[in-house]
Each structure stands twice: as C-alpha cells, then as structure tokens.
Amino acid sequence: MLKKAYFLGLFFICLQASSQIVRTKLPDSISNWKKENVIGLDISQITFVNWNAGGNNSISGLLKGKFLRTYTNDNLLWKNELIARYGINKQEKQDVRKTDDQFQLNSTFGYRTDTISNWYYAGKFNFNTQFANGYAYPNTDLAISKPFAPAYTFLGIGAEYSRKDLNLNLYISPLTQKITMVFDQRLADQGAFGVEKAVYDEFGVLIKEGKNIRNETGILITNQWKTEIYKNINFEHRISLYTDYINKFGNVDVDWQMQFDMIVNQYVKANIGTHLVYDDDIKSKEEEGGVQVIKGPKIQLKQLLGIGITYIF
C-alpha cells in the first residue's frame, strides 16, 4: 500500500511539473534575417478645359517596388535586393508610352575576420534588364530595346566597407566579369549595346549573324549612401563605375542615381530624382526622315518628380 501511494504521489508531481512546462512560454527565437518590402504608386494628371494657352490632357503612373533581405551572423553578411519599376504616360491624341522600366537584382556576400572591422571580403552579383519593349517615339514599328535585349550581369570578388550606422556602403572589385546579353537577333545583328554585329557581303547578304553575348573583365566600384538631410527629407545616392581591362581601359561606364524623398505622412511621399548613364557601347538612335539612324554614344539623363502612396511592410 505504501508503495502504491509512493508511485501515485510521484505521478502527480510529474504531472504538475509537465503542466508547468506547457504553461511556460518559450522565448521567441531571434532570426538572423532582416526583411523590408516597399511598394509605391506615383500618379500625376493634368486636364485643360477652355484653356487659352493650350495644352494636352495627360495622365502618368509609376508602379515601383523594392524588396530587401539581409542575413547577418557574427562575421557573415549577405545582402539581397530586388528593384522593380514600370511607368507609363498617356497624352491626348497619343498612344500610351513607357516612361520608366527597370528590373534589377543585387546580391552581395561578405565575410570579415572579426566582429569589430567594417571591411569584408566580398563577392557581388548584379543582374539588370527591363519588362517591356522600348521605342524611339513616335516610331513604334521597331523596338530599340526589349526584355533581355539588353540584359547585364556583373559577377566579381573584392572588398566591401559597410557602416550600418551611417547607411554607407563602398564596394571595390579588381576582378569583375561583365556579361552583356542581347537575345533579339535583329538588335544583335546591328551590334546594339556593344555585341559583335553581323557580317554581310558586298551585296548585303548575311554571312555571319551578330553575337548575342559579350564578355568583359574589369574593375567595378559601387557606392551607396542614405541619410536624412532635414526632418522628413531623406537623400539616397547610388553610383556604379566600371572599366574593362582590354577594351578601352580607362573608358568608364557610369550609372549614377540620386533621389530625395519628402515624407508627408506614413503613406504619402513626394520624390525628386535623377538617373545618369554613360556607356560607350550604347549608341544613340535618332529618327531622320522616318528612318532610324545610329549615332555615337551620349550621356543619358532621366529626371523624375512624383508624389504618391508608399507602403512598407
């Protein structure tokens, strides 16, 4: 009898202990991943009614998104970023025209020797293309660019200086491979975006098609910086500089973006930005007498001004 009472008491003690464990909430595990998603829509519109000075009614829209995934664990840092933008404009008596088009993927993996240093041994991958065909308006018969025509990839190794407290990042790579892809044969035959163009005989008969891929190896330097310059006014700067070792070394390809974000409230923001591009391999195209004529490389400049809704989650 005593033995049974002993085991019965032990059973109730174990039952009470187990119920206490169930009631106790275990602490949430801390993830090494940090994520941020930003989507936005900018709209501008103008309407004229009996306006003596004249003008065309128009409406523009820009849909944009930025998705960040960052992994940190002691000496490891892995940053991933997806940027997508697409904008259109409709004016009176004109068809819809594209105003902005970007699909960009960035990934940087870094390792540092101690937890104090801001320098990382790093590898970087970048991919850039567009969603839809581009035209030299008003000519919409022949596209001057398409999805994957061009598309660019950068893959290299180097060193990265990263300061979270300053939102500052500097990447230097002495060894980066740049691949230019033009997966549209008509554009490739023209030698668009620097690929080797087609070869024709004296009668204009095609002998050899243009190449769809061009490989380069050179130096890549990128820099990003974001700061609040005044209350509710943020400034962001991104620049990428690249030069090839073999083909015209010292001739630098430039991709430079600057943007001011003015915060109205949690969801409404106004923004002003510029985007400057120079690439010696990108030839400008102009229409002369209804015919597209290929000119030399020029500085490309885009200016943006918009106000819209932004949602962060």
pLDDT tens, residue by residue, 32-66:
999 999 999 999 888 888 777 677 888 999 999 99
**Quick check: is 16 in a domain?**
no
Tell me, what amino acid is at 187? L
CB of 228 within 8 A of CB of 244?
Answer: no
The position carrying tokens 């009631």 is 23
Between 243 and 14, the more confident residue is: 243
**How far is 48 from 51, CA to CA, in rounded Å?**
6
Domain assignment of residue 206, given as a range: 31-312
CATH of the domain at 154: 2.40.230
Residue 7 is predicted with a pLDDT of: 42
Residue 289 is predicted with a pLDDT of: 67
Task: Name the strand (E) or helix (H) holding 190.
Answer: helix 185-190
Structural Rg of the chain based on CA atoms: 28
**In the predicted model, what is the mean pLDDT of residues 69-94?**
94
**Quick check: is 15 in a domain?**
no
Residue 287 is predicted with a pLDDT of: 66
Instruction: Calculate what percentage of the chain has a pLDDT beyond 70.
Output: 88
**How far is 152 from 138, CA to CA, in rounded Å?**
27
Residue 137 is predicted with a pLDDT of: 85
**Quick check: is 13 in a domain?**
no
CB of 125 within 8 A of CB of 106?
Answer: yes
The position carrying tokens 């320098």 is 119
Model confidence over 178-227: pLDDT tens digits? 999 999 999 999 999 999 999 999 888 999 999 999 999 999 999 999 99
Between 110 and 280, the more confident residue is: 110
Length of the chain: 313
**Quick check: is 24 in a domain?**
no
pLDDT(229) > 60: yes
Q: What share of the chain is helix, strand, coil (3-state, %, to 5)?
A: 10, 60, 30
pLDDT(170) > 90: yes
pLDDT(90) > 80: yes
**Quick check: is 19 in a domain?**
no
**How far is 273 from 227, CA to CA, in rounded Å?**
15
Between 274 and 21, the more confident residue is: 274
CB of 195 within 8 A of CB of 210?
Answer: yes
21-25, 183-187, 240-244: least confident range: 21-25
Angle at the Cα of 26 from the Cα atoms of 21 and 28, rounded to 5 degrees? 170
Model confidence over 293-302: pLDDT tens digits? 677 788 999 9
Enter the tokens of residue 166. Answer: 């300053």
**Quick check: is 87 in a domain?**
yes
Please count the structural domains in the chain: 1
CB of 175 within 8 A of CB of 181?
Answer: no
Label residue 24 by pLDDT band (50, 70, 90). Answer: very low
Label residue 163 by pLDDT band (50, 70, 90). Answer: very high
**In the predicted model, what is the mean pLDDT of residues 74-94?**
93
- Prediction pTM value: 0.83
Residue 53 is predicted with a pLDDT of: 67
CB of 254 within 8 A of CB of 227?
Answer: no
**Quick check: is 6 in a domain?**
no
**Quick check: is 4 in a domain?**
no
Residue 178 is predicted with a pLDDT of: 97
Enter the tokens of residue 160. Answer: 């990265």
**How far is 115 from 91, CA to CA, in rounded Å?**
55
